[in-house]
Structure 1
């Protein structure tokens, strides 16, 4: 499938530093463009990853920690007043016209719907603001912060919805604040399995979205430009969901393995994700949420 608007990059690359067009496609658990030997290798690797994680101390640590799986920043109630304001937010185009709080509690609580809670250290208002205002300002900023205070935000985590300490930034022209989670996520556990060797394919770049019913996940993955129809394979167990980015279609020649593009793909699951660990079959690590901030979107699925 040709994905319009995607920009190619040479490999090897530092995936986290790429800014490219992201197109949306749907994906099923098939091997349409994968040679049978490569498909068997991918499937075998996914089984190894699932076996290593299921019932492991790493999985127990993951389920006991605080890992955001949804946006940690929430726009003012009612959303942005204009597309220009939305673009300013996405570009980090802010101006500070206030004295930010210099003190804060050292720790805050993350509380889940079932009553379970966890103590996590908090970032300061200054650090939180700098994370928002990370872009280059050209001329007068559209978004002006006039005050900040500590409050709460509700977001999606690996353990379901949670209420988290957050910095609430008041802005000119908005009746309600922009919220940014202040609790520092737990450090991911050390994977019980190392990365794959000798298996064609790429790591999953990031998690973008988990559907409200948990029956689908949207990820961004890296694919060769000569690859046929985009595909992410799925292996589900009681304890984990392993996603494997399918390999290049090599029939086009060796040059196709030297170029790649990021694509956004939605994968349907057999049952809700819930507390199962979402894993990358190539690296053997949990797939972390990063959203789409910093990636330009193009095309449609």
Structure 2
């Protein structure tokens, strides 16, 4: 049961989110001194052993699953921020402190939702109706940010107008236009914008539980995809260990990244830092990622780049 417990614990920490040929004569990936970054060499490192078996289970459960259907037809943004601040942001440190503390007064009437639904429009022309995040909900999230004040406590901000707007974001389905609320604050020419729709949450996958076998790999969290789609960078959680080159499991529809680590050898009197560290590791694919989905080793959930 120990391997299963480790996989589950690591996956929870990370949420805080046919193999190609290998060229054995190519140089191995290396750890860059001072950064703990493991860089991908020119060869592909296919998964083997128990880790490959688990990755195969995850990849096999993806096609036709409820999770795949939701992922390919839902709203899962890659870069949608929780707010868009105006150019130049705040006029003073006092205004910034007031904003961060939630010292914001309402001096206008908020728009009233009509149906409680709103639409996300994708670049391919498809439209998805989702529950609307009301202007009142946005205001509540702003005014309940803090219960204390440390500096410039006499400064307050005032909302003088609220109107609907739109913003372009990148999603798992490409570009999309989402509705926003544009707040005008007294003294500011530019508006403060907030999403009027929240990302969906994919259902929990029904893939088999991780096998109780030693030697299983470490789940990773996708961080970036290279411009050519051949190298993926993912975070590998480490305790008292050093990151090793990772391995990959690939199919026509999915990619599973598998981290590896070597326990550190401690010298006499040396104490291990048991805090969880995330090391960036590069994984080279046999062909560009394209429209394939990156799936988590432990939970089978699809992943988007999270820098």
TM range (shorter): 0.5 to 0.7
1:155 aligns with 2:169: yes
Aligned counterpart in structure 2 of residue 103 of structure 1, from 112, 124, 143: 112
Please show how residues 40-119 of structure 1 align to structure 2 within 5 Å: 40-78=49-87, 80=89, 92-98=100-106, 99=108, 101=110, 103-105=112-114, 106-119=116-129
Question: What's the counterpart of residue 265 of structure 1?
Answer: 280
Deviation at 1:118, TM superposition (A): 0.7
- Contact persistence 2:82–2:194 (CA under 8 A): yes
1:191 aligns with 2:205: yes
**So what's the TM-score if we normalise by structure 2?**
0.66
CA separation in 2, counterparts of 1:83 and 1:219? 38
CA deviation profile, 1:57-111 (whole Å, cap 9, x unmatched): 43123101111222333433546469979x969x944332225626224111111
CA separation in 2, counterparts of 1:274 and 1:61? 19
CA deviation profile, 1:259-294 (whole Å, cap 9, x unmatched): 3424263646646555433311122222367x57xx
CA separation in 1, counterparts of 2:228 and 2:195? 23
Alpha-carbon RMSD = 4.4
- Contact persistence 1:28–1:233 (CA under 8 A): no
Please show how residues 231-270 of structure 1 align to structure 2 within 5 Å: 232-247=246-261, 249=263, 259-263=274-278, 265=280, 267=282, 270=285
- Contact persistence 2:256–2:294 (CA under 8 A): yes
CA gap 1:173/1:193 in 2 versus in 1, 3 angstroms: farther
- Contact persistence 2:169–2:176 (CA under 8 A): yes
Please show how residues 173-252 of structure 1 align to structure 2 within 5 Å: 174-198=188-212, 200=216, 202-204=218-220, 219-224=234-239, 226-229=240-243, 232-247=246-261, 249=263
- Contact persistence 1:216–1:266 (CA under 8 A): no
Segments of 5+ residues of structure 2 without an aligned counterpart are 1-8, 17-33, 42-46
Question: What's the counterpart of residue 20 of structure 2?
Answer: none
CA gap 1:281/1:13 in 2 versus in 1, 3 angstroms: closer
1:138 aligns with 2:149: yes
Tell me which structure has the larger Cα radius of gyration. 2
CA gap 1:103/1:14 in 2 versus in 1, 3 angstroms: same
**So what's the TM-score if we normalise by structure 1?**
0.67
CA separation in 1, counterparts of 2:272 and 2:104? 46
CA separation in 1, counterparts of 2:218 and 2:158? 40
Number of residue pairs matched by the alignment: 266
Deviation at 1:219, TM superposition (A): 4.8
Structure number with greater CO (CA < 8 Å, separation at least 6) is 1
Segments of 5+ residues of structure 1 without an aligned counterpart are 1-10, 31-37, 293-301
